[in-house]
Amino acid sequence: MTTHVEHIHLDDDGHVPAADMARYVDGTASRDEREMVTHHLADCDLCREELTALRRLVPRRSHLTRNVSAVLGAAAALTLITLSWRGTLASTVDTTRPDSTRASDVVPEIDAPFLTVSPAMDTLIAADRVTLVWRGAGTDVTYTFVVYDESGGVAYSGETNDTLVTVPPAAFKSQASRADSTARTYTWMVQTKLLDGRSARTDPQRLRVR
Amino acid sequence: MPPFRLETLLEATDTASREAAWAEFVSEHSRLIIHVARDLFKQHDGAMDAYAFVLEKLSEEDCRRLRGFQNDGRSRFTTWLTVVARRLCLDYYRHRYGRLRGDPTSNGAGERLRARRRLMDLAVSPDGAVSELASADSASAPDAQLRVQQLSAAVGAAVAQLSPEEQLLLKLRFDDGLSGAEIARVLGWATPFHVFRRLNSTFDRLRSALRDRGVEGSSP
């Protein structure tokens, strides 16, 4: 038996108001609001179609706030490089905070992490064959990439809409001045800003260049 | 550079500061609006025309539409803007091209009927007997058509007893034809498994409700 549900105040066109739909999509609607919108969605084709489109357009909400990402981002790259790590650091793209307004049997979705793809950590590569590849973070996204040398200085950086960049050999020009062919260690990472303002950053990846 | 603040635009008192704040708003949110426009207008020119239309509507009457955002800390402005921008793009589309293809107000009666029969098959008779009844020639099998109508009414009444979430789930699956993965994304569930598990429990409830009404199968 269905419980009586008060109808939400619809807009002039008889649909879910933008504010209510936005809260529904963001998962910030109260239990009552969510139930009322759900009740309307079951009867309204246009609002259901809109919700389907919005799920496609709006990035999934994350657990850690932008403030945390900003704090991490504000830490100097040199500080990150001097950290000793074992294995992969936790991704800076966050997990979804459980929405208390949802049914108890629903497991919140975990965002796909923003990860580097290639080269793998500590790969040894010739200076004239360094191509950095990372996983895409969505459409219409601009990525900022940085390669640091062992002293923490920026060896190469830039922006791109692609998910890869080929680093020119000149970026590793210190290699040319070395008498021996010992590989030097670099660190690279990629940062991006999503359409909803959230920042995402890959883990720093070590790269050995000869 | 500090992030754009909507209040700066809405509370601007003179033309110069208003224009500067508007320019900052456009700079900050154009990517999002174009992203929305491209989702509806696959051609570049159409998307850019829609983008310009959205900006025009957002700025008119002293940003009347932007003043509709409730800054109560519960909503993300970008999500709200996405909703508003998409609705404006739809207005632009209808203004320019007429009724939107796939608009529910267009004639989709045939597909709806098929969707309802699929639902009836699963709820009443998984062997597809209801669809067989429905496909029988109405002139030669009036009893079959009457039976289908009775079953349809019974299923409709049973569906109305389900929770709003279950009714929405059935609409997404049978009326809108979404896959399990698509439904999971729309409803915010973790995996398609959650969708199918809930569908199974919903059909168990449907069948139980139909049995209570004396409906055991497609035969009277």
Are the beta carbons of B168 and A45 separated by less than 8 Å? no
The yes-or-no verdict on residue B85 having pLDDT over 80 is yes
Task: Give residue-wise pLDDT tens across range A62-116.
Answer: 543 444 444 444 444 444 444 444 334 333 333 333 333 333 333 333 355 678 8
Can you give the pTM of this predicted structure?
A: 0.62
N-to-C CA span, chain A: 71
List, for residues B133-172, the tens digit of each pLDDT value.
555 555 456 777 787 778 888 888 888 889 989 999 999 9
Indicate the SS3 state at residue B58: helix
Give B171's DSSP letter. I
Pairing of strands A184-193, A164-166: unpaired
Mean pLDDT throughout B31-48? 91
% pLDDT > 90, chain A = 21
- By CB atoms closer than 10 A (0-12, 13-18, 19+), residue A117 is middle
Beta bridge partners of residue A207, listed in sequence order: A123, A186
Hey, is B220 helix, strand or coil? coil
pLDDT interval class at B211 (50, 70, 90): confident
Q: How far is CA B47 from CA A1, A31, B89, in A?
A: 46, 37, 9
Give pLDDT tens digits for B168-184.
999 999 888 899 999 99
Task: Give CA–CA dist B187/B197, Å, rounded.
Answer: 14
Distance in angstroms (rounded) separating the CA atoms of residues B91 and A46? 13
Distance CA A108, CA B190 (A): 6
Q: H/E/C letters for each residue in chain A?
A: CCCCCCCCCCCCCCCCCHHHHHHHHHCCCCHHHHHHHHHHHCCCHHHHHHHHHHHHHCCCCCCCCHHHHHHHHHCCHHHHHHCCCCCCCCCCCCCCCCCCCCCCCCCCCCCCCCCEEECCCCEEECHHHCEEEECCCCCCCCEEEEEECCCCCEEEEEEECCCEEECCHHHHCHHHHCCCCCCEEEEEEEEEECCCCCEEECCCEEEEEC
Is A19 touching B (CB cutoff 8 A)? Answer: yes
Q: With contact defined as beta carbons under 8 Å apart, do A210 and A124 qualify?
A: yes
How far, in Å, CA of B165 to CA of A104, rounded?
13
For A104, name the nearest residue in chain B, comparing CA atoms only: B189
Taking the C-alpha atoms of residue A187 and residue A150, their distance in angstroms, rounded to an integer, is: 8
Does the structure show a pLDDT above 50 at B46? yes
Beta-carbon contacts of A74 under 8 Å, excluding residues fewer than 6 positions away, are: none
Chain B residues whose beta carbon lies within 8 Å of the beta carbon of residue A11: none
Tell me which chain A residue has its CA closest to the CA of residue B206: A1
What is the rounded average pLDDT for all residues in chain B? 83
User: A3-7, A137-141, B4-8, B128-132: which has the minimum mean pLDDT?
Assistant: A3-7
Please answer yes or no on whether B189 and A107 come within 8 Å at the CB atom.
Answer: yes
For B174, the closest chain A residue by CA position comes to A42
> A152 near A143, Cβ under 8 Å?
no
**Residues in chain B within 8 Å Cβ distance of A42:** 164, 167-168, 171
From chain A, the residues in CB contact with B36 under 8 A are 57
Q: What is the pLDDT of residue A86?
A: 39
